[in-house]
Each structure stands twice: as C-alpha cells, then as structure tokens.
C-alpha cells in the first residue's frame, strides 16, 4: 500500500500542486481546505504524514496540530507564509516535526517529507518506477508489462521506451531525444531503431484502451497521447 499524506491548505492551487508532486513520488494524497475538515479526514483516513498550513479557516494550523498531538504521533510538517523564528519554534514546541516557509520549492518539500518519514520509521517507497493507465501497467522496477491485466513479454528497451513516453503524457519527443533519453547519449545507432521499437510496442498494446494511444506526430516523433 502507498504511504498516505494529508495535505491541509486553504489554497486549492497549492493543494493540487502538492497532490501532483506527491503522486509522482508514489504517495497517496488527501486534501483538506480548513482545520475542521483536516481533523475529520485525519480520523477517517489515518494518514502517515500531515502537511499542515498554519493560516486556515475554522481552526488554524496550531489548533489542528495540538488536537492531532493529543492522540497521535503522526509526523507533521508545518507549511506557512510566516518565516519568523518564533513561529518555527512554536510549531516545533507543539509537536510539529518540520517546518517550511512559502514560497517553497516542491522538490525541497518532497525531500523533507521523505526525511521525516525515514526518521519516524516509515520509509517511503523509493526508486519504484511504475505508470498505470486504463488497460496498461508498466513497472520498470520489476520489468513487468501488463496489458488489460495480462503480463506481456517485452525486452528491456521496449519497456524503457513505453515507460518514458507514458511517464510524460501528451509530450512529443523526437526520435533523437528518445535515443538520447532511453538508449543513452553514447548510443550511435540509427534513429530508425526507435521506429522499429514503436512498431513492436504497438502490436503489444493493440486495443488496450480508447483513453490513450501511442501516437506518431508526423515530421517530429512520438507521444503517449491521453485523451480528455
């Protein structure tokens, strides 16, 4: 099961940004936009970590942190626009495990999330490279390709190619880009190598789903197109 993170912030844009980054790191994200909702979701979802803004409607982050600490040692990272040392000290004094000020770099926050989980003995899933779409699952950690639930044999480079494309949906890659990023910069083969692998992959993915397709962008290259 994936590690569950409760994100509490009244800014929906920040919440969605964090959801995207967390899910990219294979965490499961639940969103709350006020303090009361945060406590309710904490009870029902039993998250492994809470990212908690201080300035919240109904109950502020200090109150939410205190209520959580009355009954749980679940890790809490305080997230706020305030940068004063006194706020940081207060957050840590009432039980927060870490503190980061807005504006923040999402990569830094993800690093702090992983560090806190490690300290608490809840190490996050590391180095799992897996993408899932309807009818398709590509797992580079186990080198397993599944189409409509059935395991399909595929050599490593085909796996790496479909994983790379599916990990960047609706992004167009030239053949040379794919050679560099999948085969490596020291590969001196012909760009037609990509065409051959794409052709083989298409046969294996044939009719898996109508919601996505491995599309040729004429004169440019290829993309994994996810339909709206």
Q: What is the pLDDT of residues 51-97, one digit of tens each?
A: 999 889 999 988 999 999 999 989 999 887 765 656 666 666 678 88
- The CATH class, in words, for 130-226 is mainly alpha
Which residue blocks in 173-224 are alpha helix, DSSP H?
175-178, 192-205
- Return the number of other C-beta atoms located less than 10 Å from residue 23's C-beta: 13
pLDDT of residue 155: 87
From-to residues of CATH 3.40.50.2300 in the chain? 4-119
Q: Which two tokens stand for residue 96?
A: 């927060």
Strand arrangement, sheet containing 144-147? 130-133, 136-139, 144-147, 150-152
Report pLDDT for 162.
95
Pinpoint the residues of the chain covered by CATH 1.10.10.10: 130-226
Section 176-200 average pLDDT: 82
How high does pLDDT run on average in the chain? 86
Q: Please tell me what DSSP assigns to residue 81.
A: S
- pLDDT > 70: percent of the chain: 88
Q: Name 123's Cβ contacts closer than 8 Å, sequence gap at least 6.
A: 117
Query: Is this structure's pTM higher than 0.75?
Result: no
Q: Which of 94, 128, 124 is nearest to 111 (CA)?
A: 124
Q: Which CATH class is domain 4-119?
A: alpha beta
- Of 159, 136, 52, whose CA–CA distance to 100 is shortest? 52
Looking at residue 189, its pLDDT comes to 67
């Amino acid at each position: 099961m994936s590690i569950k993170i409760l994100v509490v912030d009244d800014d929906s844009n920040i919440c969605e940004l964090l959801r995207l980054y967390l899910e990219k790191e294979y965490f499961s994200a639940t969103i709350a936009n006020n303090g009361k909702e945060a406590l309710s979701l904490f009870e029902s979802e039993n998250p492994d970590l809470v990212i908690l803004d201080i300035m919240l409607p109904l109950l502020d982050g200090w109150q939410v942190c205190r209520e959580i600490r009355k009954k749980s040692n679940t890790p809490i990272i305080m997230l706020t626009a305030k940068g004063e040392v006194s706020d940081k000290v207060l957050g840590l004094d009432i039980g927060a495990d870490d503190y980061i000020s807005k504006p923040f770099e999402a990569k830094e926050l993800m690093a702090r999330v992983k560090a806190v989980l490690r300290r608490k003995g809840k190490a996050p899933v590391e180095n799992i490279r897996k993408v899932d779409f309807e009818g398709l699952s590509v797992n580079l950690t186990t080198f397993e390709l599944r189409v409509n639930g059935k395991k399909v044999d595929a050599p490593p480079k085909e796996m790496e190619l479909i994983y790379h494309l599916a990990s960047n949906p609706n992004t167009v890659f030239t053949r040379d880009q794919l050679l560099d990023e999948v085969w490596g910069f020291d590969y001196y083969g012909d760009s037609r190598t990509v065409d051959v692998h794409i052709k083989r992959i298409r046969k294996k993915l044939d009719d898996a789903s109508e919601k996505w397709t491995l599309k040729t962008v004429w004169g440019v290259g290829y993309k994994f197109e996810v339909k709206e």
